[in-house]
Amino acid sequence: MSTRQSEILHLYRSSLRAAQRFETYNFRKYFYRRTHDRFHAIREEADAQKVGKAVAEARAELEVMQRQGILNKMFAHNRTVIESDPHYASGARRFSE
């Protein structure tokens, strides 16, 4: 694995960790999906200049996510049904009940 690939992979993992630090379910899932989609688009890109620009944007977005994650933890919020029900929180779906 080249240095550039390992740098991008490290940035991807850091972004996913920053997304998981949000207390609010909707923010957490939004940033997780956005990060996943962004880095899969980078993986498919062949032009090195576009990859460099996308990585720079992802780095800037990571900084924003980290700041916003801290702010999100500072203020209380009401938990949604998805967050408060352990069956939904784990990702499992209930078909009988």
Instruction: Compute the average pLDDT of residues 57-73.
Output: 93
Q: Residues 54, 42: contact at Cβ < 8 Å?
A: yes
> What local confidence, expressed as pLDDT, does residue 97 receive?
47
At residue 92, does pLDDT exceed 60?
A: no
How far does Cα 88 stand from its chain's mean position? Answer: 19
- Which residue type sits at 54? A
12 vs 38: CA distance, rounded Å: 9
54 vs 86: CA distance, rounded Å: 37
pLDDT tens, residue by residue, 12-47: 999 999 999 998 888 999 999 999 999 999 989 889
Helices 48-74, 25-44: inter-axial angle, 10-degree rounding: 170
> What local confidence, expressed as pLDDT, does residue 90 receive?
54
On average, the pLDDT of the chain sits at 84
What's the predicted TM-score (pTM) here? 0.76
